[in-house]
Structure 1
Amino acid sequence: MTVYIDGMVRKLPDVSRRYVLATGTAVSATAIAGCIGGNGEDENGEEDIIDPTDYDYDREEPDDEDAARESTMEYTQELERDEDFDPIHSNDAYSAQVYNLVFDGLYEWDAGLDLEPKVAVDMPDVERDGTRYLYEIHEGIEFHNGEELTASDVAHTFMAYQEEDSVNEAQYDMIEDAEAIDDYQVQVDLEHPYGPWELQTMAISIVPESERESEDDREEFNTNPVGSGPFVWSDFEFNEYVTLERNDDYWDDPEPYLQEITFVDNVDEASRVGEIRAGDTDAIADVPNDDWGELEGDDDVRVHISESPSYMHLTFNCRDDAPTGDPDVRRGICHAFSMTDFVESRLGNVAQPLSAPIPPITNDQWGFPLDEWHDEHYPEYDPDQAEELLDGAVDDDWSPTIAAPGDHRGDLAERIVTRLHEIGYEGAQAETLDFGTLLDQTVYNEDPSPDDFQAYLLGWTGGPDPDAYMYNLYHESQVGVNQAHFYEGSDSFHDDIAEARELADQDERYDLYEGVMLEILEELPSLPAYSFHNTMASGEHVRDLHAHPMVQQNPRPVSEYGNVWIDD
């Protein structure tokens, strides 16, 4: 499984690319089971934070299945696709939303963040102290080209990340070898145990080896993919649309009701909201916070929301030559403003504040005491303490720069700077940058001067395993790759992160991650900010649509928990 930095892995070329993958509980589909108030206010008129579980929908089934099977749907994505549809090399969530309907996974996500077998018959047999996985796959699965999917294709998929120098290779570089034992048995050997393997890594989309034998084949495959999934590639216009048709010979149940689905994009929030209200599209992604109440109150529109594994963070330059290299300076900044107030007032419909460097949905499978950590360790708004910590630690004319993209995180940077002005640091400034420039100045900057940045705001989306966050965002090997805090840490900090990913026992991994995360909260190389929910809005005529925690899984027109159809 790929992890995403603001929607994609490392490659973020323009300002419109925000967060991802995004990725709690997923929602099901019919009448709203009750809600807190779509405008983000409680009964006293104060801002409140929406609970995604209050937007669960019941399942819906059509009275006329034949009519439902004639349904077509247009889905408007919030960002442009990179138009990379080969799962081995694709690294943006919006292309993944398309190709996930073309391919079947060895394992796939259920309504939440648990994996269930798909091409695999069952969970794997595990041997050799957690370094050998044996998979049995279903017989009789056919790719769209008529060829049978066999163990050789599964082995090819596992090895392709390394053999083809994929941008996603780091997520699979622990694989020593994968081989077909026979047509329906696959053996995968790892160089060492890898904790996230059964939680997320084996959720790979199976590609046909015969369609990808040469570089020219792979280039053709990238924009004309062949899978075994419930939809077949139909029509494609670069940077305009992708149309998929139902696979009428699909091997698994349920078969889609939708005859056709077309993906377009519209990066302009106001225009996207206008489209769904006017009925010019069937569904849109990413409902803006300020439009939530308006759309919720529209009788012709349904809003959908799911908690996600997204993680927004305020990260500091911890180099010794930077003022923020002093942990008291970092603490002072964090006490100068209220993260909770920002989320409640600015993002209460679409986000929740964090207590630790993993999202709550990730913690569902781990059980870390996040509420306790918040009470004991998370820096609360205390301007007097902020002044005390900063006084003498920085000059009176200290002018820190907080860099951010031009979205909600830019607003947060402005909020922090305003609070610093209020306690006397009037030179503090927020710098809003396009993503390419922001990453070059921060994440990819391996030798920044103290003037380049004091702090930056970015996001990351992983999944059900803390490794996706701890290793990529905090391990020293990832400086210049995924992060730029330059945090030296305690003697065991980086070793514990590395050791935790090479252990199979979850209790042992828990103990290591507990120490790492408490150190992050106490020393604050970065401050956990908030988790951004996955949201969609659909016309009332769109039935049985459900938001999934993983942004690259939305929309999911056919699954065990939903089968979208259009009620004309």
Structure 2
Amino acid sequence: MALAGCIGGDGDDDDGDELIDPADYDYEREEPDDEEAARESTIEYTQELERDEDFDPIHSNDAYSVQVSNLVFDSLYEWDDGLGLEPKVAADMPDVERDGTRYLYEINEGIEFHNGEELTASDVAHSFMAFQEEDSVNLAQYEMVDSAEVIDDYQVQVDLAYPYGPWELQTMAISVVPESERESESDREAFNTDPVGSGPFVFSDFEFNEYVTLERNEDYWDEPQPYLQEITFVDNVDAASRIGEIRAGDTDAIADVPNDDWTELEDDDGIRVHISESPSYMHLTFNCRDDAPTSDPDVRRGICHTFSMTDFVESRLPNVAQPLSAPIPPITNEQWDFPLDDWQEEYYPGYDPDQAEELLNGAVDDNWSPTIVAPGDHRGDLAERIVTRLNEIGYDGAQAETLDFGTLLDRTVYNEDPSPDDFQAYLLGWTGGPDPDAYLYNLYHESQTGINQAHFYEGSDSFHDDIAEARELADQEERYALYEGVMVEILEELPSLPAYSFHNTMASRDYVKDLHAHPMVQQNPRVVSEYGNVWTDN
């Protein structure tokens, strides 16, 4: 409760800070004077959460295993320094035929996997089809693929069952795996923890739930060649301990700098902090089932008027987040140009306790006791902030409950028949990319109830149809028109309230050179690319 502080005249706390601009931490490239010395570099990178230890890109579904496997595998297309795709294994952008349902890819010749075999069109085709053939947990991202056929050794044709809008923006950034290493189920089991790719690093040493060490691929086919000779991934889920390690020099770089430690690390002469805007999306989502008081949009709107989201971010997360005004983060909007500022002014519910009381009075009982559930991190702090504001306007029974992640998902997202006592709102997050479909389909379409969301929002007659139709169109202007209506409805009816976007942050010892934070958390640490090639000067 103390986190909420006292309400001022406009709901702002006294300790709000100016938000950090990630662009201020866009460091210049750093090249070594002695390349041979740089090529002897090694680093240890401390991740903020434990890996699932699934390194097969077909089945891996946690960002922290993917951070490792991204250095082992090459993608058909790779991310630039932002959210744009560039050819990698592909020689160029694809030829598109049949009204956006056929893609013809030419791939570079002479690429070798770590086992010495050449990467061919057959491997690319296998990489597209394996999600369906092996019933991957990632199937939803590739279920629109109807077939992938080999034209010759260096050409592959991918046919979609329908035009899929996000395809060229995101989906074709697929890791290419060697078909010969994954022929049987036992092969795939071995491949999962001893993967063979064509990327700049190879698996060297692996101790389950302890560390993964990768060594430089001395025969890497592409430029630039990595300077790093070796990188070891460990994890430390305790933020204070992780900060202590980087300050003491017990690790070379860490992920996820807590807001309260940012300034201290920034002022440390031996440490450099890194930050990038990200496509993350935190949201306050309501139980819209008919038996829940929050099925009434006035109740949802009333809750949202009890507090200031901007104040929460400025007072609690000024160094690591930015408030949202729509169901997509600003970095996603860079390729779409929706009028986010106008929506903020016209639709987004600001702090207005009088309006909150008016909306809630009569819509809920005087002894109404809603439960807001959240993880025990900054989202738990936000839940406490909201509950404090509800208490202050007379709803003393409101309570915040923090749960571990698995229990939270079981209570909310995976709960097929939640009662109002289970939750009336929950706080979770999602990371998408450059296409609104990643957010609107997964978090708002009715087909994803029980899979990725639990608001049970019926919506207007066209709401769910528009989301589904937009993902099956190739024309961006047509998709824009559908998404605009969907997002305005979300802001007006509030099945969930967009909260804030959490930046990607890292800290490194000052001898770690040419390290840059990438918007996609799965891409960090991006130790070799056209935009950075990490080395150490120690």
Q: What TM-score does the superposition give when structure 2 sets the normalisation length?
A: 0.97
In 1, distance between residues paired with 2:400 and 2:15? Answer: 30
Select which of 354, 378, 384 maps to 1:384. 354
Is it true that 1:313 corresponds to 2:286 in the alignment?
Answer: no
- Match in the other structure for 1:466: 436
1:40-59 equivalences in 2 (<5 Å):
46-59=16-29
- Match in the other structure for 2:324: 354
One-letter amino acid matched to 1:280: D
In 2, distance between residues paired with 1:123 and 1:516? Answer: 31
Displacement of 1:512 in angstroms is 0.1
- Match in the other structure for 2:523: 553
1:148-159 equivalences in 2 (<5 Å):
148-159=118-129
- Match in the other structure for 2:6: none
| SS of equivalent residue, structure 1 residue 255 | coil
In 2, distance between residues paired with 1:103 and 1:46? Answer: 43
Select which of 272, 276, 287 maps to 2:242. 272
One-letter amino acid matched to 2:105: Y
- Match in the other structure for 1:180: 150
- Match in the other structure for 2:504: 534
1:118-517 equivalences in 2 (<5 Å):
118-517=88-487
Deviations 1:466-523 (A, max 9, x none): 0000000000011111000000000000000000000000000000000000000000
One-letter amino acid matched to 2:84: D
In 1, distance between residues paired with 2:45 and 2:377? Answer: 23
- Match in the other structure for 2:7: none
| SS of equivalent residue, structure 2 residue 103 | strand
One-letter amino acid matched to 1:215: E
One-letter amino acid matched to 2:222: D
In 1, distance between residues paired with 2:533 and 2:403? Answer: 41
Deviations 1:318-358 (A, max 9, x none): 11111000000000000000111000011110000000000
Displacement of 1:432 in angstroms is 0.7
Displacement of 1:45 in angstroms is 7.3
- Match in the other structure for 2:42: 72
In 1, distance between residues paired with 2:512 and 2:418? Answer: 50
Q: Please, which runs of 5 or more residues in structure 2 have no aligned partner?
A: 1-13
Displacement of 1:434 in angstroms is 0.9
In 2, distance between residues paired with 1:178 and 1:46? Answer: 53
| SS of equivalent residue, structure 2 residue 516 | coil
In 2, distance between residues paired with 1:560 and 1:50? Answer: 26
In 2, distance between residues paired with 1:351 and 1:344? Answer: 9
| SS of equivalent residue, structure 2 residue 354 | helix
In 2, distance between residues paired with 1:199 and 1:56? Answer: 24
Give the superposed CA RMSD. 0.7
| SS of equivalent residue, structure 2 residue 268 | coil
One-letter amino acid matched to 1:183: D
One-letter amino acid matched to 1:152: S
Deviations 1:114-169 (A, max 9, x none): 00000000000000110000000000000000000000000000000000000000
In 2, distance between residues paired with 1:320 and 1:235? Answer: 54
Tell me, yes or no, if the aligned pair for 2:15 and 2:315 is still in contact at 8 Å. Answer: no
Displacement of 1:446 in angstroms is 1.5
| SS of equivalent residue, structure 2 residue 150 | strand
Displacement of 1:46 in angstroms is 4.6
| SS of equivalent residue, structure 1 residue 229 | coil
In 2, distance between residues paired with 1:81 and 1:225? Answer: 15
Deviations 1:402-447 (A, max 9, x none): 0001000000000000000000000000011111111111101111
One-letter amino acid matched to 1:218: R
- Match in the other structure for 1:7: none
| SS of equivalent residue, structure 1 residue 221 | helix
In 2, distance between residues paired with 1:412 and 1:82? Answer: 28
In 2, distance between residues paired with 1:305 and 1:263? Answer: 20
Change (3 A) 1:479 1:260: same
One-letter amino acid matched to 1:487: Y
| SS of equivalent residue, structure 1 residue 181 | strand
Tell me, yes or no, if the aligned pair for 2:277 and 2:504 is still in contact at 8 Å. Answer: yes
In 1, distance between residues paired with 2:296 and 2:16? Answer: 36
Aligned residues between the structures: 525
Displacement of 1:449 in angstroms is 1.2
In 2, distance between residues paired with 1:147 and 1:530? Answer: 46
Displacement of 1:448 in angstroms is 1.0
In 2, distance between residues paired with 1:74 and 1:459? Answer: 28
Tell me, yes or no, if the aligned pair for 2:16 and 2:311 is still in contact at 8 Å. Answer: no
One-letter amino acid matched to 2:40: E
| SS of equivalent residue, structure 1 residue 295 | helix
Tell me, yes or no, if the aligned pair for 2:372 and 2:423 is still in contact at 8 Å. Answer: yes
Tell me, yes or no, if the aligned pair for 2:274 and 2:517 is still in contact at 8 Å. Answer: yes
| SS of equivalent residue, structure 1 residue 424 | coil
| SS of equivalent residue, structure 1 residue 271 | helix
Displacement of 1:316 in angstroms is 0.2
- Which structure is richer in relative contact order (CA contacts within 8 A, separation 6 or more)? 1
Displacement of 1:310 in angstroms is 0.3
Deviations 1:288-315 (A, max 9, x none): 0000000000000000000000000000
One-letter amino acid matched to 2:164: Y
1:96-107 equivalences in 2 (<5 Å):
96-107=66-77
In 2, distance between residues paired with 1:434 and 1:268? Answer: 14
In 2, distance between residues paired with 1:236 and 1:444? Answer: 33
In 2, distance between residues paired with 1:46 and 1:398? Answer: 31
In 1, distance between residues paired with 2:407 and 2:209? Answer: 23
In 1, distance between residues paired with 2:428 and 2:255? Answer: 20
In 1, distance between residues paired with 2:301 and 2:354? Answer: 12
One-letter amino acid matched to 1:495: D
Between the two proteins, what is the percent identity of the paired residues? 87
In 2, distance between residues paired with 1:415 and 1:294? Answer: 25
| SS of equivalent residue, structure 2 residue 108 | coil
| SS of equivalent residue, structure 1 residue 250 | coil
Is it true that 1:525 corresponds to 2:456 in the alignment?
Answer: no
Change (3 A) 1:182 1:127: same
Displacement of 1:179 in angstroms is 1.0
In 2, distance between residues paired with 1:55 and 1:65? Answer: 25
- Match in the other structure for 1:22: none
In 2, distance between residues paired with 1:548 and 1:182? Answer: 35
**Deviation >2 Å, runs of 4+:** none
